[in-house]
Amino acid sequence: MTGVACDLAIIGGGLSGGLIALAARRAQPERRILLIEAAPRLGGNHLWSFIDSDVDEKEKRLLEPLVNYGWRECAVVFPRYRRSLPQQLYSIRSDRFDAALREAMPGESILTGRRAIAVSADRVVLEDGTTIAAQGVVDARGPADLSLLDLHFRKFVGYELTLDGPHSIRRATLIDAAADPADGFQYMTMLPIENDRLFIEDVRYEPHPEIDMPDHGQRIVHHAARFGWRIKSSARGQAGIVPVVLGGRFEEYWRSGGEGVAKCGLRAGLFHPVSGNSLADAAHSAWMIAEASDWSGSALHAMSHAHAKKTWARRVYYRQFATRMLRHCAPAEGHRMLEALYAMDAALVARFHGMRLTMADRIALSTGDGPMPLRSLFRG
């Protein structure tokens, strides 16, 4: 059995773990960091997107070298209206994520194809028998025991398509819920990349985690045909399932991910309660951990637990929104909540995305044609 020592060991080289490694390398370059990933490359096979206002300036600087694409405006399309929003949208492709991390970090700091089989606050044992003694460990391997949470699921399948001619689309479409009506809560996302190339994704919310790949793929083909486009080829597909949390037992969920071990990302319950997106939380956690003066296992656990617990408590309103959208509406009508939300003031929509709603925002969402009932103002 071999032994390795480091200051900070990060288990899981996905979005959350990778951003911690990148931020830690910038903040404390003199210290030894290990990023350990079971798969052969970092980031898996994903396309992550975020709105400019989701992150602060420091977090943007962390994300800048990772960005592949950007658009100055976003569009939403619903049965009753279509609208452009002034928020900039950016996307990060996982192959660039992998390359940027390998460029920023010493080669010996990244261990891919190495699975962790035992993790504690200051020690990691890998499947090949290697033991890593760390000042502190952060577990970023994905969700813990999701059965402890009350969940719906957001599922997505997308492909980068090359067409046989130009498509004339210039702005990113966050939501198109007007085309190809379905029995359930579904919409399309569309990101133009080049004149003859774009990314189309089929998104749906369902109460079970199973994903119907052929049906998603068929809807993507139909969506392209709706615009009169002929698909020449497809590449860089992605499929995923993210939890949408309606409630649950936070403390039990936290412990299920490893008693006394610092956690981030899905393992810490840090993701948007309505969209399931975790990028903004990942960027924030990355700097929080990277700049900590004490990387001991106990200090990292106390800090990450306090942050996750506080964040969970602050997001009651968003879980109420998701519950109303997914449980109180018929499946085919769930998009009506989003339709009402995106009709609001653009700055309010941005604050909703960034989970920074004010009391005035919540009043606006509960009056007039807003999507929430008045009683939601007095809960959470």
Last residue of a domain, one of 245, 268, 303: 245
pTM, to two decimals: 0.94
The arithmetic mean of pLDDT across residues 161-174, rounded, is 94
The arithmetic mean of pLDDT across residues 94-105, rounded, is 96
Does 80 map to a domain? no
- DSSP for residue 340: H
Does 86 map to a domain? no
Q: Domain check: are 15 and 129 in the same one?
A: yes
Is pLDDT above 80 for 1? no
Q: What range defines the domain where residue 269 resides? A: 3-66+94-144+248-314
Q: Domain check: are 200 and 221 in the same one?
A: yes
Contact 77, 223 (CB under 8 A): no
The whole-number pLDDT of residue 373 equals: 87
Q: Domain check: are 220 and 265 in the same one?
A: no
pLDDT in tens, 105-121: 999 999 999 999 999 99
Does 75 map to a domain? no
Q: Domain check: are 182 and 138 in the same one?
A: no
Q: Domain check: are 196 and 303 in the same one?
A: no
* Cα–Cα distance for residue pair 48/277, rounded to 1 Å: 9
- DSSP for residue 261: -
Q: How many residues does the chain have?
A: 380
* Cα–Cα distance for residue pair 342/365, rounded to 1 Å: 11
Q: Domain check: are 115 and 252 in the same one?
A: yes
> For the domain that residue 287 is a member of, what is the CATH number?
3.50.50.60
Q: Domain check: are 303 and 332 in the same one?
A: no
Last residue of a domain, one of 314, 348, 369: 314
The whole-number pLDDT of residue 202 equals: 95
Q: Domain check: are 154 and 226 in the same one?
A: yes
Q: Domain check: are 139 and 28 in the same one?
A: yes
Q: Domain check: are 36 and 132 in the same one?
A: yes
pLDDT in tens, 298-353: 999 999 999 999 999 999 999 999 999 999 988 888 889 999 999 999 999 999 99
> For the domain that residue 203 is a member of, what is the CATH number?
3.30.70
Distance of CA 326 to the CA centre of its chain: 19
Cα maximum dimension of the chain: 67
Is pLDDT above 90 for 363? yes
Structure tokens at 270: 């840090």
pLDDT in tens, 185-222: 999 999 999 999 999 999 999 999 999 999 999 999 99
Give percent of the chain with pLDDT exceeding 70.
98
Does 230 map to a domain? yes
Q: How far apart are the first and last CA of the chain?
A: 51
Last residue of a domain, one of 185, 213, 245: 245
Contact 322, 274 (CB under 8 A): yes
Q: Which residues contact 168 (CB under 8 A, 6 or more apart)?
A: none
Does 72 map to a domain? no
Does 47 map to a domain? yes
Number of domains making up the chain: 3
* Cα–Cα distance for residue pair 300/306, rounded to 1 Å: 10
The whole-number pLDDT of residue 184 equals: 83
Q: Domain check: are 356 and 328 in the same one?
A: yes
* Cα–Cα distance for residue pair 239/294, rounded to 1 Å: 38
CA-CA-CA-CA torsion sign (303, 309, 313, 315): positive
Give CA torsion, residues 16, 17, 20, 22, to 10 deg.
-110
Mean pLDDT for all residues in the chain:
94
Does 74 map to a domain? no
| Rg value, the chain, Cα | 21
pLDDT in tens, 39-56: 999 999 999 999 999 999
Does 22 map to a domain? yes
The whole-number pLDDT of residue 180 equals: 61
The arithmetic mean of pLDDT across residues 258-282, rounded, is 95
Q: Domain check: are 45 and 161 in the same one?
A: no
Structure tokens at 231: 């698909």
